[in-house]
Structure 1
Amino acid sequence: MSLDVNLEKLERFSAKVWRQYSKEDPIAQLSFNEYDYLKVLQGGSEPMRLTDLATQMEVTKPSASAMIKRLERKGLVCRQRCSEDARAHRFSLTDAALLSLQSEAKVYQRLATQISRHLSDEEAVFLDVLLSKALR
């Protein structure tokens, strides 16, 4: 079987696990883009300026601004004044968003467990190494 076919199967398998999990998790109702913004904010070492967020998301500032407003309305993102520039704001995740994202790690744990069942310990480590290399 070719890599592209296996990647498609992995995507479908992941979607199946997500569908099972989404019944338990309100954040799973977000669009992929909304979720992606939350993950970028989560990965930051400190609250992020809109310009930096737009750069990381590879979108325009107006697009990032619209998404931030949507996420604020949903209670997932909060804004605070930037200490270096009073005109700017920094954005971070709310406690509700952090809790939901932490619980979503369970989905990936389930995926890893289910995939690892079909692999030896050595193969699971090797798969991890290969994925780390391929996703750099």
Structure 2
Amino acid sequence: MALEVNLEKLERLAARIWREHNKEDPISQLSFTEYDYLKVIQVAKEPIRLTDLASELGVSKPSASNMVKRLERKELVNRIPCSEDGRAQRLIPSENALHHLKSEAVVYREMASEIAEKLSTEEAAFLDILLTKALK
């Protein structure tokens, strides 16, 4: 089976599991793009500057600014002063976002479990190695 077909099936599996956990979680109500921005802000080693966020996502600074404003309105992102430059601000996920992002781990655990139950222990470990290599 072609890799493209399997990747599509993987995406549908993820979508099904997300729908099952949808409920009142504001994170599950985000568009893919909003979620992508929020995840980049979350995984940044330190509070991220707007310029760095735009660069990381490969978008213009005005586009990043508009999306950050959207996430702020949804109370998922906060701005804090930049210690190196008094005029600049850095972005962090809000406590609300962190709470909901923490609970999303359940979705990925369930997805991993569904996949792993169809594989041997060795196959699951090998899949993890291949995904780690492919997603670097």
For each residue in 1:49-68, what CA deviation from the matched residue of structure 2 results, as whole angstroms up to 9, or x when unmatched? 11011100111110011111
* Structure 1 segment 111-122 matched on structure 2, within 5 A: 111-122=111-122
The residue that corresponds to 1:34 in the other structure is 34
The residue that corresponds to 1:71 in the other structure is 71
TM-score normalised by the chain length of structure 2 = 0.96
Residue 46 of structure 1 deviates from its aligned partner by 1.1
The residue that corresponds to 1:126 in the other structure is 126
Confirm whether residue 45 of structure 1 aligns to residue 50 of structure 2: no
Instruction: Could you tell me which runs of 5 or more consecutive residues in structure 2 were left unpaired when the two chains were aligned.
Output: none
How many residues were matched structurally?
Answer: 136
**Residue type matched to 1:96 in 2?**
N
TM-score normalised by the chain length of structure 1 = 0.96
Residue 23 of structure 1 deviates from its aligned partner by 2.0
Between the aligned partners of 1:128 and 1:77, the Cα distance in structure 2 is 31
Residue 32 of structure 1 deviates from its aligned partner by 0.6
The residue that corresponds to 2:91 in the other structure is 91
Instruction: Could you tell me which runs of 5 or more consecutive residues in structure 1 were left unpaired when the two chains were aligned.
Output: none
Between the aligned partners of 1:40 and 1:66, the Cα distance in structure 2 is 15
Aligned sequence identity (%): 62
The residue that corresponds to 1:15 in the other structure is 15
Which contiguous aligned blocks of 4+ residues in structure 1 show a shift greater than 4 angstroms? Answer: none
Root mean square deviation of aligned Cα: 1.0
Between the aligned partners of 1:8 and 1:70, the Cα distance in structure 2 is 29
Residue 24 of structure 1 deviates from its aligned partner by 4.8
Confirm whether residue 55 of structure 1 aligns to residue 60 of structure 2: no
Between the aligned partners of 1:24 and 1:125, the Cα distance in structure 2 is 34
